[in-house]
Structure formats: structure tokens, C-alpha cells
Amino acid sequence: MNTRPLVIANWKMQFSFSQSLQFCASHKQWLAAKAEMVNIVVCPSFPALHPIAQIFKNSPVSLGAQNCATQHDGPFTGEVSAPMLAQVGTHYCIVGHSERRQLFGETNADVAHKVDQLLQASITPIICIGETQQQYQDKNTLSVLEQQLDSVRAVLSRYPNSSLCIAYEPIWAIGTGLSADTQYLHTVISWIKEYCVAAKLPAEIVYGGSVQPSNIASIAEIPHIGGVLVGSASLDFQKFEKIVSWFHTH
């Protein structure tokens, strides 16, 4: 299992192709130097994956995709398979992000198929789980997380030695500027850790949802948090630099 803290940059569909390449080319040396100690995973849109893999060739910076197909290959117009991602040098892939679940109808069953495809292709899945605002208010968080984890558990048990990342992202905290309070996060992360131990899942657990330089210390110091998934702050190098540097110096 990877012991470097993970810092995942999820650029969503925010950077253009040229902005993605420019970010990586301009900060290549800095990112590569920090990636010796902090596992930096850059997740651009599909077209930028291959050129960014070239930029980071022979560098410890990792490349991640934001989605993949549920199938291995075939007549699925518009889909990109896990083996294709592996061929262009992708090490990680986000699955089940709440934007995909909510806006594109991705189900727990789809997430399980995607995880299966990724593990077959030796790509580490970053499985996003999290509750909506309503579920949070109704105090249903843990049962929602349990359903989301149960649905991938059978697949994961078929790949006992694979690396795996679980990203806890409360949906109400994504892109809203609200982040979960420390006590709440402590409870939820401990519960996820216990689930993983009981299910024998050797997962890194990361937090995502309005991670910023101003809240990184209070989030990252929570026991069992192995890193963060950063959305909007990862588009601004000054902010991203501060988040990575926090892990580098702690």
C-alpha cells in the first residue's frame, strides 16, 4: 500500500486542453520534486491524458482519469474503456463522483462494473462516496455510505492485493465552500476505516469537498485521512501548491 499522502487534483471539465498542458508543463519540476513525498495525482479530461503522461514521463507524478466505461470494449459510442486509459499511462481513475451519480444517473451497480474494469486493467480506482444534504440532515450518512460500499465490496474481494482509494465526499460540501466539521468528519472517517478493516479492503481514505489551503490542516490531521481530493482549489496553482506543501511538511 502506498504510504505517501495522496493529493488528487480533479479538474473536472474546467481546464481547456491547452490550460491542462500548460499547468503541467509550467509546474513540472515543482510537482515532480514534491511527488517524491506526496503522491500527486493529476486528473485532466480525456484528451489531455496522453500528452500529460508524456510530460510526466519518468516522474513520480501520477495521472488519473475522471471516469471510464462499465464495459471492456465493444459498440459503445462515446465511451472510453479502462484498458484504453491504461494504454495511455493512467494510474488512477475517479469513479462514482457525485456529479456523475447525480447528473448522469450513475448507479452503485455502474460504479461496481467500472471498479471491476479498472482493477482488471491495473488502474487504482478512486471510489467516491458521500451523502446528500437531505441525507445528512436526516442523519442517514452512514447507511448511505454502507450501501455505496456494499455495492463494490464483492468486486473488490476478487482483487485482494490491488490498491484502492475511497474518497469520502459529502455532496453538500462539493463546490459549495462548506466543508464538513472536524468532529463529524472524525466520526465518518473512523466508520469508513472500520468498514475497510472488517471487509479486508486495503484502502487509502481521502476527503473531498471544498478543500482549501485554509482548512487543509484541520482536515488532514483527522486520524485515517490519507489525503485529499481537490476540485476548485486544484485549478489555482498558488492554492494547490499550499495544499501539497502542507502534506510535504507534516
**Interface with ligand PGA (CB under 6 A):** 10, 169, 174-175, 208-211, 229-233
Start-to-end C-alpha separation, the chain = 20
Of the two residues 141 and 210, which places its CB atom closer to ligand PGA in the complex? 210
Q: How many whole angstroms separate alpha carbon 26 and alpha carbon 31?
A: 10
Helix 141-157 vs helix 108-120: crossing angle, to nearest 10? 40
Rounded to 5°, the CA angle 159-160-162 comes to 70
Close Cβ partners of 111 (under 8 Å, ≥ 6 residues apart): 95, 96, 101, 127, 148, 151, 152
In whole angstroms, the minimum distance from the beta carbon of 128 to ligand PGA comes to 7
State the pairing for strand pair 62-65/124-129: unpaired
Q: What 3-state DSSP class applies to 95?
A: strand
| Minimum separation from the CB atom of position 168 to ligand PGA (A) | 11
CB of 151 to ligand PGA, least distance (A): 20
Instruction: Work out how close the CB of 144 gets to ligand PGA at its nearest, in angstroms, rounded to a whole number.
Output: 17
Q: Which of 99, 131, 169, 204 is catalytic?
A: 169
Residue nearest to ligand PGA (CB): 231
* 241 a catalytic residue: no
Q: Which is nearer to ligand PGA, 12 or 28 (CB)?
A: 12
Work out how close the CB of 11 gets to ligand PGA at its nearest, in angstroms, rounded to a whole number. 10
Q: Which is nearer to ligand PGA, 197 or 217 (CB)?
A: 217
Give whichever of 10 and 39 is closer to ligand PGA, judged by the CB atom: 10
Catalytic residue among 97, 99, 113, 204: 97
Q: Can you tell me the distance from the alpha carbon of 115 to that of 121, in angstroms, rounded to the nearest whole number?
A: 10
For ligand PGA, the closer CB: 120 or 232: 232
Nearest Cα residue to 144 out of 94, 192, 81, 110? 192
Distance between CA atoms of residues 122 and 159, nearest Å: 10
Given a contact cutoff of 8 angstroms between Cβ atoms, the answer to whether 226 and 5 are in contact is yes
36: annotated active-site residue? no
Cell of 189: 472517517
The residues annotated with a catalytic role in the active site are 97, 169
